[in-house]
Amino acid sequence: MTDLPEHRPSAEDEPISREPYQWLGLTLITPSLLFISLLFLLPLGMTVWMSLHSWPLLGTPRFIGGENFVELFGDGRFWRSIRFTVLYTVLVTSALFLVAFPLALLVDKPLRIAGLFRTIYFMPVVIGFGAAATLWTWLLNPDNGVFAELLLRAGIVDSAPRPTESFWPALLVVILMVVWKQAGFTMVILLTGLQSVSDDVIEAAKIDGAGPISRFFRVTLPLMRNAIILALVLNVTWSMLAFDQFFVITQGGPRNSTVTAVFSIYLESFSSYRLGYGSAMSMVLLIILVAISATQMAILNFRNTQE
- Report pLDDT digits (tens) over 203-223: 888 888 888 888 888 888 888
End-to-end C-alpha distance for the chain, whole angstroms: 66
Q: pLDDT (tens digit, 9 = 90+) per residue, 51-88?
A: 999 988 888 889 998 999 999 999 999 999 999 999 99
Question: Among residues 105, 113, 96, which one has the least CA distance to residue 215?
Answer: 105
Q: What is the distance between the alpha carbons of residues 139 and 141, in angstroms, rounded to a whole number?
A: 6
pLDDT band at 145; cut points 50, 70, 90: confident
Helix (H) or strand (E) holding 62: strand 62-63
Amino acid type, 88: Y
Contact yes or no for 283/208 (Cβ under 8 A): no
Please state, in angstroms and rounded to a whole number, the distance separating the CA atoms of residues 128 and 247: 14
What does the alpha-carbon distance between residue 296 and residue 307 come to, in Å, rounded to a whole number? Answer: 17
Q: Which residues contact 238 (CB under 8 A, 6 or more apart)?
A: 182
Inform me whether the pLDDT recorded for 189 exceeds 90.
Answer: yes
- Average pLDDT across the chain, whole number: 86
Amino acid symbol at 90: V
What average pLDDT score do residues 93-122 get?
87
Domain ranges in the chain? 76-273
Burial class (CB within 10 angstroms; exposed 0-12, middle 13-18, buried 19+) of 11: exposed
pLDDT reading at 190 higher than 60? yes
pLDDT score of 46? 93
Quick one: pLDDT band at residue 10, thresholds 50, 70, 90?
A: low
Long-range contacts of 283-291 (CB under 8 A, 24+ apart): 283/47, 283/48, 283/51, 283/69, 284/69, 284/72, 284/78, 285/82, 285/240, 285/261, 288/82, 288/240, 289/237, 289/240, 289/241
pLDDT of 50 strictly over 60: yes
pLDDT at 265: 94
Identify the band that residue 253 occupies on the pLDDT scale cut at 50, 70 and 90. Answer: confident
Backbone angles phi, psi at 243, to 5 degrees: -145, -60
Looking at domain 76-273, which CATH architecture does it have? Orthogonal Bundle (1.10)
Least confident of 5-9, 165-169, 241-245, 291-295: 5-9
Give Cβ neighbours of residue 202 (< 8 Å, ≥ 6 apart): 215, 219, 220
Inter-residue contact 190 to 100 (CB < 8 Å): yes
Q: Is 171 within 8 Å of 258 (Cβ atoms)? A: yes
Whether omega before 254 lies within 30 degrees of 0, making that bond cis, reads yes
pLDDT over 70 (residue 3): no
pLDDT tens digit string along 222-231?
888 888 888 9
- Per DSSP, 63 falls in state E
Q: In this predicted structure, what is the pLDDT of residue 286?
A: 93
Which has the closest alpha carbon to 279: 86, 61, 44? 44
Residue 63: phi and psi, rounded to 5, are: -70, 125
Q: Which of 125, 167, 160, 166 is nearest to 140 (CA)?
A: 160
Checking if the pLDDT of 99 tops 90, the result is yes
